[in-house]
A and B are shown apart, each in its own frame.
Chain A
């Protein structure tokens, strides 16, 4: 049974079309991530799911119910906003209770719910404080608490962590994941942080300019991006895009790569079936971890411009075919900036794009 089904949603503000036919289906209990650059329409889509804005066309189903004409409060959803949207003149308890009061939940049950939620999120000691007297992380918890008090069928989170500092973000990310595993409620989660997208989601929808570029599991999206935008957006540091020509040597199809030394031919896997594209200019996509440091005989000589040690790995900034690239290598063998080294690209997982349309060709 589908928990949320979005069918052909479009939204137009004035003259501009913000959403251009969105289709998403997820099952009960799944964690859907909506990810995309700023302004691509994520919040607009969330508002449409919540019923705070109407779509220009298309249908929203929650559970088995068409909810296009159901008021937000009757959709059985709860939402956490990017700015938390806590009521500033009410204390934490009143913030959580407001929705319960409006829904005429009996007083005893209200108290019980508030106690349960406060305990779950460890905000018991904050109940008497106003939002202005809380830290960012505490406010975030209260906003979650307000949503949890409702026990809805669907949670909507609109960039709930984007206002927190890096450390708190990692902590809260883990907590949200745990909470989801415990409650098993369906979640739609907006972010433009691709690490959040990868770590939290069962399903990721990558959006750009009001169009879903790809919809799939995190691993699918990482390993086999549908186009150059998705490939570049997901993954950090982002995928390297190297201009190449499809060539043939001794019956094998491959590409010629050149660092600061001699150009060298590298065969591509046969399964890519590139024979008919012989001679064409394409963009080769290689993730930073698809390079290995090797001896002179096996590798492509590259000059290192900068190194960025991150601890477990060191990032080497270099150039291949005149394009800046990043290689992720083990710090023990990492060369110094200014030195040359030998990199061996692992082309088994290589992806290729059409440089004009940015569509995936292999």
Chain B
């Protein structure tokens, strides 16, 4: 019996280990390559550790690599992305929370239909939106600008954030709202003093979700941005596609890592809450 148990445990852990290696290997290759010099990359093994660690490639990717005609690295793109992500995440999360609060706790005639329509929005492929969205942005005078990108991401993220918050808030007993109403609190006071303090898990989930979505977005970034509002994903693409005499793999890898770093950091810092929030929502229905 015990022998058999051990056998299965080895099988399970063995397959998990293989899966982990499979997923981590590209990261390892990217990271080691970004620390090597071009000479070493050309002569060495893809998997070997760098003999001579150098941050030159990172330096170049950040501040002097060419992305098309312009040669100031990823830096400006990175800050564009930050300027786009922070307000877009904040606004879409805040609006999602308020929508979810209304749709679960202040239901009105037809609110189920509104929710159904919002749910539908989750499944709409974004490609379909490109043309009408471009017209809308033009109409608002926000085309090719960071506020325009923020607007697009808020609109497209709203369906998911509303869904997250609504499903979480449905699990909060209605009696809590009734008690607060008897205590004299109104719509906003109940939201700010009672509901929001209970929302930490779902806030974390939503912020991580939105941050990842918006930071990693390429489609909207390439379609709706102007010359001075390109986000990092577009910058990375341009950097990798700019033809120089030799392909600088170390710079490409460093650039890709720079682009991926913020999402990785967010996951490491808040990943624990992410899983917890997802399951908390699931259990509460």
Q: Which residues of A contact B (CB under 8 A)?
A: 47, 50, 52, 72-73, 77-79, 81-83, 85, 87-90, 98-99, 102-103, 146
Contacts and interface: CB of A to CB of B under 8 A. Distances in A.
A85 B181 contact: no
Given A85-B173, A87-B194, A89-B194, A102 B182 contact: no
Contact of A98 (B173, B175, B183, B198): B183
B178 A102 contact: no
Contact of A50 (B173, B180, B182): B182
18 contacts: A50-B182, A52-B178, A52-B182, A72-B181, A73-B182, A79-B179, A81-B175, A81-B179, A85-B173, A85-B175, A87-B180, A89-B194, A89-B197, A90-B197, A98-B193, A99-B183, A99-B184, A146-B183
B185 A102 contact: yes
Contacts of B173: 83, 85
Interface in B131-183: 173, 175-176, 178-183
B85 to A, nearest CB: 29
B189 interface: yes
A139 to B, nearest CB: 13
B178 A47 contact: yes
A47 B179 CA distance: 11
Contact of A85 (B178, B185, B193, B197): B178
Interface in B180-229: 180-185, 189, 193-194, 197-198
A98 B180 contact: yes
Interface in B95-121: none
B176 A79 contact: no
B182 A72 contact: yes
B128 to A, nearest CB: 36
A98 B197 CA distance: 14
Given A90-B197, A99-B184, 17 more contacts: A52-B182, A73-B181, A73-B182, A73-B184, A77-B182, A79-B178, A79-B182, A82-B175, A83-B173, A85-B175, A85-B178, A85-B179, A87-B193, A88-B198, A89-B194, A98-B180, A102-B184
Contacts of A52: 178, 181-182
Contacts of B197: 89-90
Interface string B69-83: 000000000000000
Contacts of A78: 182
A185 to B, nearest CB: 15
Contacts of A99: 182-184
A16 to B, nearest CB: 18
For the complex of A and B, list the 4 residue pairs with the smallest distance between their C-beta atoms, beginning with the closest.
Answer: A99-B183, A89-B197, A73-B184, A102-B184
A257 B218 CA distance: 89
Contacts of A82: 175
Interface in B22-69: none
Contacts of A102: 183-185, 189
A85 B198 CA distance: 13
Contacts of A77: 182
Contacts of B185: 98, 102
A81 B183 CA distance: 13
A87 B189 CA distance: 13
Q: Which of B180, B184, B197: most chain A Cβ within 10 A?
A: B184
Contacts of A89: 194, 197-198
Contacts of A98: 180, 183, 185, 193
A288 B198 CA distance: 52
B183 A73 contact: yes
Nearest to B189: A102
Contacts of B198: 88-89
